């Protein structure tokens, strides 16, 4: 989206976020090993490391392909169970830990 001109969308309505989400800052992304058990078919999955408890969250390869998470960004879970990714700057400007 770097090719978007500044101010191009200024006429669009402005919204403020007020949702509560579960999230953690990603400090490691690694592909799971095919010989390890996984909840996903085909054995294709990725691990996102969780700093609070040192465990990892297992996500399918489709999550990585769709969201393209990066170390330093946030793994986000909404109250309906939908999982997403947010770059650090956007997340930290929009959410405060409660």
In the chain, where the domains are located: 22-94
Q: Which residues pair with 31 in a beta bridge?
A: 46
- Is pLDDT of 1 > 50? no
Cα separation, 34 vs 32, in Å, equals 6
Split at pLDDT 50, 70, 90, the class of 9 is: confident
Whether 77 contacts 83, CB under 8 Å: yes
CATH of 22-94, one of 2.40.50, 2.60.420, 3.40.1000, 1.10.287: 2.40.50
For the entire predicted model, the pTM comes to 0.73
Write out 80-91 in H/E/C secondary structure: CCCEEEECHHHH
pLDDT tens for each residue of 11-42: 777 777 788 999 888 888 887 765 555 554 55
pLDDT tens for each residue of 37-71: 555 455 456 667 765 666 778 888 889 889 999 99
Q: Which residues pair with 76 in a beta bridge?
A: 23, 84
Supply the pLDDT for residue 66.
94
User: How long, in residues, is the chain?
Assistant: 98
Kindly list the distances between the CA atom of residue 71 and the CA atoms of 6, 15, 79, in Å, as whole numbers in the listed order.
27, 27, 23
Split at pLDDT 50, 70, 90, the class of 93 is: very high
């Amino acid at each position: 989206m770097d090719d978007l001109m500044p101010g191009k969308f200024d006429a669009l309505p402005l919204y403020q976020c007020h949702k509560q989400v579960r999230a953690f800052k990603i400090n490691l992304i690694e592909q799971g090993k095919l010989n390890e058990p996984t909840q996903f078919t085909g054995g294709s999955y990725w691990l996102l490391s969780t700093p609070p408890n040192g465990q990892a969250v297992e996500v399918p390869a489709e999550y990585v392909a769709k969201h393209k998470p990066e170390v330093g960004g946030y793994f986000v879970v909404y109250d309906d169970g939908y999982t997403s990714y947010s770059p650090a700057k956007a997340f930290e400007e929009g959410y405060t830990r409660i």
